[in-house]
Structure 1
Amino acid sequence: MSQPIVVAVNISEQKGTRKHPVEGPVTITVLGIQADAHAGDWHRQLSLLAQESIDKMQGHGLVLQPGDFAENITTQGLDLLTLPIGTHLQIGTVVTMEVTQIGKECHLGCEIRKLVGDCVMPREGIFARVITSGTIQVGDIITVINKGGTP
C-alpha cells in the first residue's frame, strides 16, 4: 500500500463556507493556516478529511471537490477514524500536529448540508492543533508519529 499523502490544502476567508484549494507551499503557523478563517488560538486550528470520505458522498447531483466540506487538509490513504485523540501526525518534513477532536456537531448553516442533504465532515473529519509550524503542499507524505500520544 502506498503512503498517505496530502491531496489538497484548502482555506476559506469566512467560517461556514466551502474552502478552496491553494497552490504551492502553504504556511502553517502555530495558529493554523495563514489566511484561513478557522486559524486561531484554539483546539481546532486544522481540519482533515479523507478523499475517500468525499468520494462516498459523490452522486447527489453535485461533483464534490476537496474543500467542499470545509476541511483544511484533504488526505488520501490514511484512515482518519482510527486515529485517537492525542495522535501526533507529521506532514512533509517539518509540520507536526496533534489530533484534538474526532467529528463535530454540524451547524445548521452548513453549505454542503443545504445542497446535498448530508455532510460527512461531522462523522469522518478530524481536528488538530499545530505543534510545529512550517510549510506543506499537495503530495506531501503524512506520517503517524504516534497514536493517542503513545510513542
Structure 2
Amino acid sequence: MKGIVKSVSKSEGHTFSKFNCNQIVLLKGLGVKGDAHLGKNVKHRSRVAKDPSQPNLRQVHLIHSELFAELSEKGFHIKDGEIGENITTKGIDLLSLPKGTILSLGQTAKIEVTGLRNPCKQLDELQKGLMKAVLDKDEKGNLIRKSGIMGIVLEGGEVKNGDNIKVELPPRPHLKLERV
C-alpha cells in the first residue's frame, strides 16, 4: 500500500489550524520541529491539564485528503492544515490502518501509528456542524471518528509535498485504532 504527501503544515503556537509549508522536519521521539505539539510528553492542553507526564502519542497528526472531498459534498470547504493536521495524505485509507503501522515518508522519516484523533468542539468554531460531519456510525452503531490519525516519530527526517508514503503493517493480530 502506497500513498503520497499532499501537503505539510505546522504551527509554533497552540492554534487550531496549522500553516502550510514546503517541508517539515520530523525529530525522532519528539514530533514536528517548530510545532507546538513537539515533545516526549503530551502537549495538547486538555491532556496536559490532566497529567503533564503522559507520553506524547500525538506527536504527528495525519489526515487523508479524501475526507475533505467527502466533507465538500456536505457543504464544508476545508483546506489542508485547517483542521490541525501536520501531514495531509492522498491514496491511503488512514482510518483502516491497525495500531503499530509504520509509515515511511521521504528519504528517512518513519511514523508509528498510535491511534485516532478524537475530534473536538473547535471544529464547530471553524465551520458550524463540522464536528458532527467528521463523526459517523458503522452498521453496528459503533462510532467512527474520521478526523485523522496520530503517530509518534520513530526516525527523523524531512517530509515535503509530493513525497511517497510506504505503509508497513505490523505483525498479526492487528489491533484496531482507538482514540488517543
Same fold (TM over 0.5): yes
Shift of 1:61: 5.7
How many pairs align? Answer: 144
For the pair 1:123 / 2:136, whether they are aligned, the reply is: no
Task: Provide the rounded CA distance (Å) in 2 between the counterparts of 1:3 and 1:97.
Answer: 14
TM-score by length of 2: 0.72
| Secondary structure of the structure 2 residue equivalent to 1:143 | strand
Unaligned runs of 5+ in 1: none
Counterpart position of 1:5: 4
Cα deviations across residues 75-117 of structure 1 (Å, max 9, x unaligned)?
000000111111111011210111011231x333x1x322231
| CA RMSD of superposed structures (Å) | 2.2
Shift of 1:26: 2.0
Cα deviations across residues 8-42 of structure 1 (Å, max 9, x unaligned)?
1011223351111112x321112111111112111
**1:29 alignment partner, one of 24, 27, 32:** 27
For the pair 1:50 / 2:64, whether they are aligned, the reply is: yes
Task: Provide the rounded CA distance (Å) in 2 between the counterparts of 1:18 and 1:150.
Answer: 35
Larger radius of gyration: 2
Counterpart position of 2:163: 140
C-alpha contact 1:85 1:102 (8 A) present in aligned 2 = no
Counterpart position of 2:120: 107
Q: Percent identity?
A: 33
| Secondary structure of the structure 2 residue equivalent to 1:113 | helix
